[in-house]
Amino acid sequence: MVLLLVFALMTAAAIFAVLWPLARRADLRPGGSDAAVYRDQIDEIARDRAAGLIGEAESEAARVEVSRRLIAAVDAAEAEQAPSGGASALWRRRGAAVAGLLLLPVSAAALYLALGSPQLPGEPLAGRLKVVHEGSPIANLVAQAEAHLAGNPDDVRGYEALAPVYLRLGRSNDAVHAYSKILALSGESAARRADLGEALTAAANGIVTKDAKLAFERALALDPNELKAKYYIGVATQQDGKPDEAAKIWRAMLADAPADAPWLPMVRGALASVGQPAGPGAGPVASTAPIAGAAVPSTADIAAASKLSEKARGDMIRSMVARLAGRLKENGDDVNGWQRLVRAYMVLGERAKAQAAAADARNALAGDPGKLRQIEDMIKGLGLQS
């Protein structure tokens, strides 16, 4: 609406600029500037004759010549003011005014309709920025692949290409759908079940849900050596409050691993997160540990905890969880904090406290439907429904 008003004002200004000169009338008074000059000359000749500056003959000759010029100037002025000429000039001005009044807005409107997009609604800045982001090469390729699959829903190769991309882009639910389609179209395999379980875990913000655990268990039933399934079964065991059993699973993976296996740092990081060293000559530890990182916030804390007794280590972790719970009492708006707190209680095996924290999160975030939905999804994924 504001843009239309601006356009209207600009058009009005352009029309005014055209009509203003046409509205000014020309000076057509009889006897223009030339006639006035000649009259002054006749008066001056008369004054010079009276003063004796010129003779009678000279003054009469000069007066006749100037009078002749005066008559010619007056005749010319009258010819310019003839009715036909004045009417013609008036009609020309009126024609130019009408043309300016009509042609300017009409031509501007026609140009805008041809080149502009008046049918499109206004779009806020956030929407435009989103379009810019979605215009990236990866997003364009994903959109093209999705368009292809919309017309070819049984193309398993398309889903196999998209599924891992969805995971990297953080589109976990889309990844779950893609891996489910791959299983439906290509049949069971250990790798496909493990991929589905990983997507389900990512969709639950890193929690190995019941469905994800079933997928990993099915993968191991098909192939006991499926590494991804083994790793996540260890994560699920840790989240069930059994860190020692989880460490056994991960240690068994390290014992059978080639020296150059790319997943070694991740497994060593998992062991470090439960306070278990990876063994002599273990090599580097991944900087980002699995889910237990919710209760162990930093690498320094992990290193310190690994030197403590089991009881002292547990007390240290519970102290950090208590600090997080205290902070959330003061600032209940932090949905990520609530998620970390509930997961931490699950890792510690304190299910009742996890349920209580989930209830507190619901109350604190009741006024924000988006954040409340995140909490509800996490509660469902953890099986904490009361």
Which parts of the chain register pLDDT below 50? 26-31, 84, 125-126, 128-133, 135, 280-307
pLDDT of residue 215: 95
Q: How far is CA 157 from CA 89, 153, 228, in A?
A: 79, 11, 22
Residue pair 256/262 in contact (Cβ under 8 Å)? The answer is: no
Q: Are 375 and 358 in contact (CB under 8 A)?
A: yes
- Per the CB < 8 A criterion, the answer to whether 232 and 210 are in contact is no
- Predicted confidence at residue 81, as pLDDT, reads 56
One-letter amino acid for residue 136 of the chain: S
H-helix segments, the chain:
2-23, 33-50, 56-80, 83-115, 125-134, 137-151, 156-168, 172-186, 190-203, 210-222, 227-239, 243-255, 264-273, 299-306, 310-330, 335-347, 351-364, 369-382
pLDDT computed for residue 243 by the predictor: 86
Predicted pLDDT at 248: 92
Per the CB < 8 A criterion, the answer to whether 203 and 225 are in contact is no
pLDDT for residue 211? 92
Give the tokens for residue 16.
């005014």
Taking CA atoms, 190 is separated from 31, 126, 215, 234, 263, in Å, by 110, 43, 9, 17, 18
Amino acid code (one letter) for 150: A
pLDDT at 116: 66
3-32: pLDDT as tens digits:
667 767 777 777 677 667 666 554 444 445
Tens of pLDDT, residues 324-348:
888 888 878 888 788 888 887 877 7
Q: Report the C-alpha gap between 107 and 99 in whole angstroms.
A: 11
Query: In which residue are the tokens 């395999």 written?
Result: 189
Going along the chain from its start, the domains and CATH numbers come out as 10-82+89-115 (no CATH), 310-382 (1.25.40)
Could you tell me which of 249, 333, 232 has the C-alpha nearest to residue 291? 232
* pLDDT value of residue 304: 47
- Whether 243 and 275 have beta carbons less than 8 Å apart is answered as yes
Tell me how far apart the alpha carbons of residues 113 and 110 are, in angstroms, rounded to a whole number.
Answer: 5
Which CA distances in Å does 374 have to 61, 62, 205, 254, 380? 112, 109, 10, 35, 10
Q: Which two tokens stand for residue 36?
A: 């006035």
Query: What gap in Å lies between CA 369 and CA 379, rounded to an integer?
Result: 15
Distance from the first to the final alpha carbon of the chain: 52
Tell me the C-alpha distance between 370 and 386, whole Å.
Answer: 21
